[in-house]
Structure 1
Amino acid sequence: MQRLALMLTVLVLSWAANPSRAQVSVDIELVIAIDTSVSVSDQEFALQLLGVADAMRGPLVQEAITSMPDGLAVTVMEWSYGHLNRPVLPWFHLRTANDSFAFANHVEQVQRNGGGRATAIGEAITRATELLNNNNFAGLFRKIDISGDARNNSGVNPLVPRQIAIDQGITINGLAILTSDRELGTYYSTFVAGGAGSFVMAISSSGSIRNAMRRKLERELQFQLSHTNPDPFVQKARMSFDEDQ
């Protein structure tokens, strides 16, 4: 009996020392994937982050977060291709307005690590899916929020990892920045976004990035509040234009 008790004690201590074994229930797990490829200027990169921070400090997102029984788990990753696709913040669990403000402060402090010359959207979706599958949270809904200004030009076709993500119940929403490709919104709707309730927002100027990032997060989280049982078979993304208004 003493030997059995000792073994159980060791198992319990081992589990406690490895928090990755624990799963904290949340309403939504969200990866915010920020484009940092060479076509994105430092100013445009900063505007994407400022839009996220604005959303987290805004009343609509804070209302959404505080209305969730178990809160929001969120991280930010930068992407261009391959090994450059990496999180720039750890996972945060947001349940209160103070949590949301604190996360916004961290977002504003993110420094660009540099970007590659390629735009590998498929690899970015794969990396974001890995982040969702390897954390300490168990989300009722899982989402990837990806922004970018160009089509996939390296690595796997985005349709392949997109379908893998959809099959795992993940929704991918997009922000298409049309500064160099006027049809990028349609491309994002066809090849990038998908899953339950997915959508793409498209903007025609870099000056609209900050506002669009804020509005996209508001729309994303408010949609979830009003659609607790979205159709899991909806895969066609809806597209809208979002300018400063």
Structure 2
Amino acid sequence: MLTTLALLMSLTAGAEIAAASTQDVDVELVLAVDVSGSMDLEEAQIQRAGYVDALRHPDFVNAVRDGLTGRIAISYFEWAGTVRDSSHIPWQIISGAQEADAFAALLEARPIATRRGTSISGAIAYGAKLFDENSYAGMRRVIDVSGDGPNNFGAPVLPARDAATALGIVINGLAIMIRPSAAYGSLDDYYSNCVIGGPGAFVLPVQEPEDFAIAIRRKLILEVSGAEPPARLIRAADTAVDCMIGEKLRPNYMDRLYPELDK
């Protein structure tokens, strides 16, 4: 009896300690940033500067302070065909300008380099796991995915998106269309149909370099505040968006899919 009582007391104490170590925040936000080879150096630099400027902007800081708890938890990583753990900036609290500036400085100090492949599915899967590694309790959990092309490496994007949203994670998109490719049509339509998901999910397109910083700041403010984004009219297409278009455009895709055709 004493042994059982001691065990119950230890479990209760452990639960109380765990509860005490969990900090409430308005949102747990993961920034998943594209560094795939389709991003040239200029685009990569514009993207980095956009995130740094947005995090330091007074409007972003004020949006954080205006939340119910007045703080958010934020993390960051870069992705291409794979995700390197070395690109991950661990979870940190932002509740004011000093913390926002410190987080922006960590991004600013990172070297800029691109890598091969575009695995949006891998980025979503990696981002979803990060929520299990923190000690925060957010009213919302959001993965913010930026990218300039469709998924073309690793697992298909739809199962990864659906697995994340089934966990209550919202996925928003930033479609970088500064140098659009006609090969797969409109990237914002692709993101709307194949990448984003969850309650209130949205995608913002960026078509001009000078709009990048404004779009990122607007996106972060919407994610932090939880406000509904303005209605976005999606152009009606003659055919449904093909969520495997990136994979199909890869060299030798058909040969890998139907090897018997080579015989």
The interval holding the TM-score normalised by the smaller chain is: 0.7 to 0.9
What SS does structure 2 have at the residue aligned with 1:101?
Answer: helix
CA contact (8 A) 2:122 2:155 kept: yes
Structure 1 residues 217, 207: closer, same or farther in 2, change over 3 A? same
CA distance in 1, matches of 2:85, 2:157: 15
- Matched ranges for 1:1-245 at <5 A: 22-70=21-69, 71-84=71-84, 87-112=87-112, 114-178=113-177, 179-181=179-181, 182-222=185-225, 224=226, 226=227, 238=232
CA distance in 2, matches of 1:218, 1:109: 23
How many pairs are equivalent? 225
CA contact (8 A) 2:60 2:217 kept: no
CA distance in 2, matches of 1:165, 1:83: 17
For residues 159-184 of structure 1, what are the alpha-carbon distances to aligned partners after superposition, in whole Å with 9 as ceiling and x for unaligned? 11111111111111111112133511
Percent of aligned positions with the same letter in both sequences? 35
Per the normalisation by structure 2, the TM-score is: 0.74
Once the two structures are TM-superposed, the CA of residue 207 in structure 1 deviates from its matched residue by: 4.4
CA distance in 1, matches of 2:140, 2:30: 12
CA distance in 1, matches of 2:146, 2:166: 22
CA distance in 2, matches of 1:101, 1:147: 21
Structure 1 residues 107, 83: closer, same or farther in 2, change over 3 A? closer
CA contact (8 A) 1:142 1:170 kept: yes
Structure 1 residues 214, 77: closer, same or farther in 2, change over 3 A? same
**What is the identity, as a one-letter code, of the residue corresponding to 1:64?**
A
Once the two structures are TM-superposed, the CA of residue 12 in structure 1 deviates from its matched residue by: 7.4
What SS does structure 2 have at the residue aligned with 1:116?
Answer: coil
Structure 1: stretches of 5+ with no match in the other structure: 228-236, 241-245
Q: CA RMSD in A?
A: 3.2
**What is the identity, as a one-letter code, of the residue corresponding to 2:82?**
G
**What is the identity, as a one-letter code, of the residue corresponding to 1:192?**
V
What SS does structure 2 have at the residue aligned with 1:176?
Answer: strand
Per the normalisation by structure 1, the TM-score is: 0.79
